[in-house]
Amino acid sequence: MASIFTRILAGEIPGTFVFQGERWVALLDIRPAHPGHVLLIPREERQYLADLSGSTQAELGLHLARMTLAVKRATGCPAVNVVLNDGPEAGQEVPHAHLHVVPRWPGDHKGFRFAGAPYGNGQLATMAERLRAAWAAD
Per-residue pLDDT of the chain (138 residues; tens, 9 = 90+): 789 999 999 999 999 999 999 999 999 999 999 999 999 999 999 999 999 999 999 999 889 999 999 999 999 999 999 999 999 999 999 999 999 999 999 999 887 777 788 999 999 999 999 999 999 987
Catalytic residue positions, numbered? 98
- Helix, strand, coil percentages for the chain (3-state, nearest 5): 35, 20, 45
Distance of alpha carbon 132 from alpha carbon 123, whole angstroms = 14
Report yes or no: 38 and 27 within 8 Å, Cβ to Cβ: yes
Please report the pLDDT score of residue 57 as a whole number: 95
Q: Where are the domains of the chain?
A: 4-136
Measured torsion, CA atoms of residues 18, 19, 25, 27, in degrees rounded to the nearest 10: 0
Q: What is the pTM of this model?
A: 0.90
Residue range 4-136, CATH number: 3.30.428.10
